[in-house]
């Protein structure tokens, strides 16, 4: 008998504090032990993507290690860390409210939003 997966994928736009850059969850997969994600956005330097896993943190929430930001056509190395403070599923598990913090260069930006369950097309 196949095990039922407890991982659920979500997608959607995220609001960033002060609107200094745009951010979208291309995939955010909530699992019991952590949250896997692929985020994309646009800032002063152009389009970017970042992906990784935010593991369950001892102090609560989920935290990623330092991750590399990928800018198409840019050879420099940029890094950021992601902390997801809250990932709350709706009762029917079709929506997920996210609150998090983006850390980069000693600055922080809060982000959040309500994501929809990802559906293969």
Mean pLDDT across 73-98? 92
- DSSP per residue, 63-119: E---EEEB-TT--S-EEEEEEEEEEEE-TTSSEEEEEEEEEETTEEEEEEEEEEEP-
Q: For the chain, what are the domain ranges?
A: 8-114
For 8-114, the fitting CATH number among 2.40.128, 3.30.70, 2.60.40, 2.30.230 is 2.40.128
pTM of the full predicted structure?
0.89
For 14-46, how does the pLDDT look when each residue is reduced to its tens digit (9 = 90+)? 999 988 899 999 999 999 889 999 999 999 888
């Amino acid at each position: 008998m196949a095990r039922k997966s407890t991982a659920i994928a979500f997608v959607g736009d995220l609001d960033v504090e002060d609107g200094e850059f745009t951010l979208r969850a291309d995939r955010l997969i909530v699992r019991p032990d952590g949250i896997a994600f692929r985020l994309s956005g646009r800032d002063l330097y152009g389009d970017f993507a970042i992906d990784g896993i935010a593991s369950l943190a001892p102090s609560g929430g989920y935290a990623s290690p330092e991750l590399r930001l990928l800018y198409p056509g840019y050879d420099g190395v940029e890094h950021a860390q992601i902390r997801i403070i809250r990932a709350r599923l709706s009762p029917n598990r079709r929506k997920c409210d996210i609150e998090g913090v983006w850390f980069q260069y000693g600055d922080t930006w809060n982000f959040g939003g309500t994501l929809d369950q990802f559906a293969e097309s």
